[in-house]
Amino acid sequence: MLGGYFPFANIDTSLVLVGTEVLVGAVVGYISWRIFYERVMSPLRDVPGPFLNSITSLVSNIQGALGKNHSYPIELHEKYGPVVRIAPDIVSISDPKDIRTVLATHDFRKSQIYKDMELVEPNTFSAQDPKLNSERRRQIGPTFTWSAMSKMESLVYKSGPGALIEKIEQLIRELGFGKSFKSVLVGHHDVIRWAHETVQLCIMYSIFPWLRKLPMVFPKWHESERNLLKFSTNTINERIELNKNAEKAKLRQDLLQAYLFATDPHTNIKMTQSQVMTETAVMLIAGTDTSSETLTWAVRYLMSKKDVLAKLLKEIDAAFPDKSVPIAFQDAKDKLPYLEAIILETLRISPAVPSRLPRDVPPGGAKFGGGDNDGYFLPEGVCVAPHVMASHYDPKTWPDPLDFRPERFLGSEAEANKKNNFGFSWGVRICPGRRLAWIEMMLTLANLFHKYELSIPKDLEHNYKNMDSVCYLMLSPKNAQNNCRISIKRRE
């Protein structure tokens, strides 16, 4: 009777049990094999780290998905030392000397993860092949020299601090206070949102590469990616048209122009239009949130460290007594060493690119963590990942690492400390946009604090160490709408 309703009731229960046993047996067998392989056979078996991380990538992936790519490895390095097996085939390192070994040359190539995140075609950021990266960096290199950058300073001023000051003046007229300074610094332009959402998509690509073929998943982000690429293409086409009709002397001097004319001095090869397009998109992604998040962090720290702020204001006022004259970059660089130290300390304590810079160990293998012992040998092909923030929070290198102390970058320890600051990475793949970022950040902070008095509401005056952050490839303040509220008024 029962069988009529429950068709499976007729099946011999012993068969079901046997089936379950086989399944359970298979799972137990697989797990046992994983444990046996990773703990006994694997060449990484002696590398310290949590047990679970050595047999599955799940733990570190979940931490990443929770926005803790920056903070979770700090905890692991605190507990296990400068070399940590963070996943079965990924080893995180935090010792500055080890990090420089990895980043100095092209021997350690960028890992597959960069390819997974690639936009359109191989570009400066995603290229694993050293030849392609070197050629591209020779092509775009001249764009980012100090002398080329200085020609763009007026543009940077106009769209950076100039626009910011205009916005603040408007805010002072309309509201006076209460606006999140993150939204003021980061802005609300569509392109910035597209760049932002494309980063979200790239993170997903890095976890699920097959998502590229399924635009119906995350339709909004896919649309942003398309918009960003379309924006790049349209801008390039418009510029090419504009150039046709302009005299050479009157060409606009900006990054896009420089990219269009960029030539590899070794081979005289220029970029194709599609290459300029992917580089422009990469630049929009790599260069917008990074600078603006760093500025946001700098302001947040200055608001909580009253002594640091007072010292900065004293420096600015002594060097630039006339508040009606905007401060130029070279003057700021020459006369505001404390501001420079503040930016360096911000890049140390809240690096905009805070987590792993994964590279593959080259043939022959390499040893890391040799400070106190022999070190751990990593064979060819293992992913070795310098961890920027774990290194920046190591008390051996940075005493009292949670304290925001710009003085670290002044005086006798300054040079050594600058060398251990990986905010812009290091070596052959160091950030090519760093000089532009310096100009943006120095100009913005110098002129902002020159003209305005900034303060945070009483309820935010708790210690800045308590302010949480999240990492989705880049580091942002958690709940910025609340934590980054600010009051602004003109200085007398």
Which residues contribute to the site for ligand NAG (CB under 6 A)?
64-65, 69, 113, 203, 206, 355-356, 358, 471-473
Residue 221, both tokens: 């982000």
| 361 scored as a contact of ligand HEM (CB under 6 A) | no
113 binds, among ligand NAG, ligand HEM, none (CB under 5 to 8 A by kind): ligand NAG
Q: What's the min distance (Å) between Cβ of 255 and ligand HEM?
A: 6
From the list 383, 300, 298, 285, the residue with the least C-alpha distance to 348 is 298
CA distance 298 to 338: 13
Q: What's the min distance (Å) between Cβ of 336 and ligand NAG?
A: 34
Q: What's the min distance (Å) between Cβ of 289 and ligand NAG?
A: 13
Nearer to ligand HEM, 287 or 477 (CB): 287
Q: What's the min distance (Å) between Cβ of 101 and ligand NAG?
A: 19
Which one of 202, 432, 473, 475 is in contact with ligand HEM (CB under 6 A)? 432
406 binds, among ligand HEM, ligand NAG, none (CB under 5 to 8 A by kind): none
Which one of 341, 436, 446, 460 is in contact with ligand HEM (CB under 6 A)? 436
| 437 scored as a contact of ligand HEM (CB under 6 A) | yes
471 binds, among ligand HEM, ligand NAG, none (CB under 5 to 8 A by kind): ligand NAG
Nearer to ligand NAG, 64 or 81 (CB): 64
CA distance 93 to 86: 10
| 258 scored as a contact of ligand HEM (CB under 6 A) | no
Which one of 431, 467, 486, 488 is in contact with ligand HEM (CB under 6 A)? 431
Contacts of residue 351, Cβ cutoff 8 Å, sequence gap at least 6: 388, 389, 392, 422, 423, 475
| 161 scored as a contact of ligand HEM (CB under 6 A) | no
Q: What's the min distance (Å) between Cβ of 88 and ligand NAG?
A: 14
CB contact at 8 A, 458 and 311: no
Site map (CB under 6 A) of ligand HEM, residues 120-159, x = contact: ----xx-------x---x----------------------
Nearer to ligand HEM, 437 or 448 (CB): 437
| 286 scored as a contact of ligand HEM (CB under 6 A) | yes
Which one of 101, 128, 290, 421 is in contact with ligand HEM (CB under 6 A)? 290
125 binds, among ligand NAG, ligand HEM, none (CB under 5 to 8 A by kind): ligand HEM
User: Is 431 marked as a binding-site residue?
Assistant: yes
Nearer to ligand HEM, 194 or 424 (CB): 424
CA distance 316 to 412: 23
Nearer to ligand HEM, 119 or 327 (CB): 119
* Total residues binding ligand HEM (CB under 6 A): 23
| 424 scored as a contact of ligand HEM (CB under 6 A) | yes
Q: What's the min distance (Å) between Cβ of 303 and ligand HEM?
A: 19
432 binds, among ligand HEM, ligand NAG, none (CB under 5 to 8 A by kind): ligand HEM
Contacts of residue 12, Cβ cutoff 8 Å, sequence gap at least 6: none
CA distance 56 to 256: 44
From the list 287, 260, 286, 291, the residue with the least C-alpha distance to 273 is 260
Q: What's the min distance (Å) between Cβ of 178 and ligand HEM?
A: 27
Which one of 243, 257, 425, 487 is in contact with ligand HEM (CB under 6 A)? 425
472 binds, among ligand HEM, ligand NAG, none (CB under 5 to 8 A by kind): ligand NAG
63 binds, among ligand NAG, ligand HEM, none (CB under 5 to 8 A by kind): none
Separation in Å, CA 471 to CA 70, 124, 237, 361: 6, 23, 35, 26
354 binds, among ligand HEM, ligand NAG, none (CB under 5 to 8 A by kind): none
- List 84's β-bridge partners, or say none: 92
Nearer to ligand HEM, 54 or 288 (CB): 288
| 84 scored as a contact of ligand HEM (CB under 6 A) | no
Which residues are at the interface with ligand HEM (CB under 6 A)? 124-125, 133, 137, 282-283, 286-287, 290-291, 294, 352-353, 357, 423-425, 429, 431-433, 436-437
* Residue set of the binding site: 431
* Residue set of the binding site for heme: 431
